[in-house]
Structure formats: C-alpha cells, structure tokens
Amino acid sequence: MDRRNFLRGLAAGGTMLAIPAWARADETRDAYLASLAGNPRLAALKGATADISTAAAIEGRWPAELRGTFYRNGPARLELGGERYHHWFDGDGMAQAWHISGGSVQHEGHFIRTQKYVEESAAGQFLYSAFDTDVQRRHLANNDTANAANTNLVPHAGKLYALWEGGSATELDPGSLSTRGIKTWRDDLAAMPFSAHPKITPDGVLWNFGLVLGADKLLLWRVDANGALGKFGMIDVPQLAMVHDFVVTARYMVFLVPPIDLHRGEHTTYLGSHVWNGYRPMRAVVVDRADFTLRRIIEMPAAMAIHLGNGWDEGNTIRLDACVAADDSGIRGLGAVMHGETIHRAEPDTVLITLDLTRGTARSETLLRRTEFPRVASADIGNRYRQLFVTTKDKATQFGMTGIARIDVESGRTDRFEYGLDWIAEEHIPVAKASGKGQWLLGTAYDVRKQQTVISVFDGAHLAQGPVARARLPYAAPLCFHGNFLAASALPV
C-alpha cells in the first residue's frame, strides 16, 4: 500500500483512539466529593462549567516591559450530567489568556468548542471515549471526533493552536480565544496526530510529531515560518507507545520511547491498553531532521520520560535533558486523584542524557530530584544552552508541584523558590528581557488556602528572592498543563 492510501485509511478511522469501558463515573464523582474535606488540594480539580473573565489584583510592581499575552491550556470540563471523568487528561480544554499591559493583568478562559464539546454540551452528557474513560454512547468517526484540545496553546505564524495528543491542531482566534476550527495542513493528512509539544526553533520553523499506535508509525511534521507545511514524513518504530514530547537539535529530532506493551481489548481504555514492561529498555530514537530518516536507536535502562526540555548536538554526540521517572505510575496517579485518592507515584528527576551516535551508547547524570515541566528560553531551542527552568516538589507525596528552580546544566548549580506546601505550582515560562540579557520567569500557581489562582513574575537570575510582582484572581482558574507567552509586538493586529 502506498503512503497516501495508508494515510487515507488512517484518517478514515484506523488511528482513532479505541478507548472503551465506561464504569459509572458517578462513583468517581462521589468519591472525589467525599475526599475534599480531608484533602483541600483536590479542590484544584473541580473543573469549570462556564467561560470566565476578570481583572487580576496586582501585588508589587509589574515590569513595564513585560507586555503581551500568556496563553495556557488544560482540561477544564471534568464533569457533565452527574458523571466525572476517571482521569485528569480526559477533560475538555479551556483556553486561558493572561493579557498583560501597562502594569495591569486581565484573565479570561474560554472552553474550546471542539466537535466533542459542542455535541456533548447539547446532549447534556459525555458521548465519546477519552484517555482513560470509556463511554461508547456515540461512535468515533476519526481522531478528531474525540479531540479534547486540552494540552497546550501554541502561537505560530500569526495563528494560535490548541493542541492535543491524538488528532489535529484546533485553531483559535488569538485575541478573543473563539474557536475557528480544525487545522488541516494537507487534505490527505486530515485528522492525523499532531502532538501537543511542538518545538519552534529560532528561525521560526515549527517541528512536531504524532503517533500511530498499533501500526508503529512515527509521524514527523515541519511547518515553516510562514505557517505552510514544509515537510511531512513517516517512519517505522517497533513497539511504539506513549511518546508525549521530544527535543530538536541543529541536526536531529530525538524521542524517548518508554518500555510499554500495548494490549488492546473491546473494553480497554487508551491508558489501560498501555502495560508497563520494566524488562525492556527505554529507547532513544534519533531522526535526521533534514530528510526525516531514522539515524539510530539507542537503548537505555527502563524508564518513563514524559517531558523533555532541550537538546544540542556536537559531532556525533547529542546532549538533552528530560524529566525521567522509574515507571509510568505518575500518569496513573493522575487518574487516582480524580476520585480523591493519592497513591504512591514514581517522581521524575531532571537528568542530562548524553547519546553517542557512533558507539550507540547512552549515559545520564541527575541534575535535580522531583521535577517537572522543563523549559528553556525560546532562543536556545535546538542550540547549546545552560539555563533550564523546572517546577519542583519537596518530599511530600501530595498532588501537585510546590516550587520552581533554575538549573545550570553545565555546573549543576540551582537557584530555587518554594511557593510552599499549600500551593500548587504550574509550568513557568522564561521570557527574554528587553535588554536581551537574562529572562523573566512567568508562571501560575494555585493558592490552596484561598482557592485562588495567582500569576507571578520572577527575575530568572534570582528566583530565591521571590516574585517581583504577582496578579491574583478572585477565583480558581482550572489548572493548566502548558502554554506560551507572546509579546505585544508579536500579537496579530
């Protein structure tokens, strides 16, 4: 079968997420509500039922030069018709925007009107299967039937895209956040997986990937700086499963494939079909970004890497950072919290991995324990870098991160700020200072005691000194996964 016919077959339904097994989500809701009194952190996962908007109250002096929009995205509709999703990843996406101008901060959040969201809103109940909740009330026609658009908001080439794991990008209006619809870069690529973690290199090119599980196909995308599709490719990777992120270097794209076996059944959820196999290695899949050919696969000890920060290459050596855990229990634990249970989870550590393409070997060095959400300055993507920003966690096992850190990947030195045990720290984003020297660090956090969301700005070189300024909402905005800052000068007119 030629490539175009293969892709047409997938778009017609071959890659749709076969994720069944609805088992009374109302029991999940009852258990969650019963747990709230004893664990107030869980209030962060109540979700939302309507769009939101208000001005935030400023604390301190907001940097005058920091003007633009901080876009965020995450699952927000977690319950409908008396039923609650089984996993946090299942919820419908809410696009959030923090508009920053003249020392004022305005927040707004709008549900992304996907096909799924619109149809289920009209029905008053969940209709389609999700990441770890099976409903089977309505047939999945293709990937985008179940597209929750709930993981990232990425501005590129004057457009704004809400991204998910298993289907198309959803285009939004950058100003109003209204939903424009599914983005199709080429007709024969309709509904093809377009990951939530693209990398935009300093030349403005967007690099991305997608997975065709069961077929062991890794899809590769290059979208040029003008927003047009520059290249699409597809390679075979045996035993391919649950790759969430990657890094791009000057010459390569690198993926860390965990040792997961796929076991699908008629009533098995997407997550349930992924079975951890610690007897197999984690593999680094190295792809030449120029022609999308497979360069090498290098084996490492069994581990799970959800988020990667950045990487660079020198000759036949690649260095990259990743947040690596012993197994996949962290993902499964984010399902347990949906019904109010906190279980033991393997916490990820930030490690620096060195790949030798000539010898086919890998070694890793731990930089900081209990970390997540690695980010680097946009100018560093694909290049050699020193400063890596992450969220951090103390030894406690409760849900959510509690602090932030800057890691010097060459010296190993760190600079940290702890919000405290009564906070949930979300992903923080480095934003270049107007001088071109140094970074602001911009991020949101949930105040557990007051049940309010706060956005803070730090001097990226002095995190331990605390935030330069904060802006506080009178409500709790739904927790988000990922987002990006777009300076006022780059906003579409």
| pLDDT digit string, tens, across residues 203-212 | 999 999 999 9
- Give domain 3-490's CATH number out of 3.40.50.150, 3.40.640.10, 3.10.20.10, 2.130.10.10: 2.130.10.10
Residue 201 has pLDDT above 70, yes or no: yes
Q: Among residues 381, 262, 393, which one has the least CA distance to residue 325?
A: 393
Give me the pLDDT at residue 15, please. Answer: 44
Residue 6 has pLDDT above 70, yes or no: no
d(C-alpha 255, C-alpha 296), whole Å: 11
- Determine contact, residues 406/463, Cβ cutoff 8 Å: yes
For residue range 165-199, what is the model confidence (pLDDT) as tens digits?
Answer: 899 999 999 999 999 999 999 999 999 999 999 99
- Determine contact, residues 326/303, Cβ cutoff 8 Å: yes
pTM of the predicted structure, to 2 decimals = 0.95
- Determine contact, residues 137/91, Cβ cutoff 8 Å: no
Residue 21 has pLDDT above 70, yes or no: no
Exposed, middle or buried: residue 224 (CB in 10 Å: 0-12, 13-18, 19+)? middle
- Determine contact, residues 405/350, Cβ cutoff 8 Å: no
d(C-alpha 79, C-alpha 73), whole Å: 17
Residue 13 has pLDDT above 60, yes or no: no
Q: What are the tokens at 433? A: 């200072």
Work out the average pLDDT over 419-436: 95
Position with higher pLDDT, 267 vs 120? 120
d(C-alpha 453, C-alpha 444), whole Å: 7
| Number of residues in the chain | 493
For residue range 74-108, what is the model confidence (pLDDT) as tens digits?
Answer: 999 999 999 999 999 999 999 999 999 988 999 99
Give me the pLDDT at residue 16, please. Answer: 43
Instruction: Report how far apart the first and last C-alpha atoms of the chain are (Å, whole number).
Output: 46
Which residues are 208's β-sheet partners? 221
Exposed, middle or buried: residue 234 (CB in 10 Å: 0-12, 13-18, 19+)? middle
Residue 14 has pLDDT above 70, yes or no: no
Q: Supply the DSSP string of 158-194, one letter for each residue.
A: TEEEEE-SSS-EEEE-TTT--EEEEE-SSGGGTT---
Average pLDDT value over all residues in the chain? 93
For residue range 119-132, what is the model confidence (pLDDT) as tens digits?
Answer: 999 999 999 999 99
For residue range 458-467, what is the model confidence (pLDDT) as tens digits?
Answer: 999 999 999 9
Distances in whole angstroms, Cα of residue 147 to Cα of each of 22, 90, 114, 215, 245: 18, 10, 7, 20, 18
- Determine contact, residues 301/281, Cβ cutoff 8 Å: yes
- Determine contact, residues 368/390, Cβ cutoff 8 Å: yes
Q: What are the tokens at 384? A: 């050699």
Give the percent of the chain with pLDDT over 70: 95
pLDDT band with cut points at 50, 70 and 90 for residue 274: very high
Distances in whole angstroms, Cα of residue 53 to Cα of each of 37, 96, 124, 136, 148: 28, 9, 24, 34, 21
Q: What are the tokens at 485? A: 């800052």
Give the amino acid at 171: E
> What residues does each domain of the chain span?
3-490
d(C-alpha 122, C-alpha 427), whole Å: 33
Residue 396 has pLDDT above 80, yes or no: no
pLDDT band with cut points at 50, 70 and 90 for residue 1: very low
Give me the pLDDT at residue 493, please. Answer: 57
Residue 12 has pLDDT above 50, yes or no: no
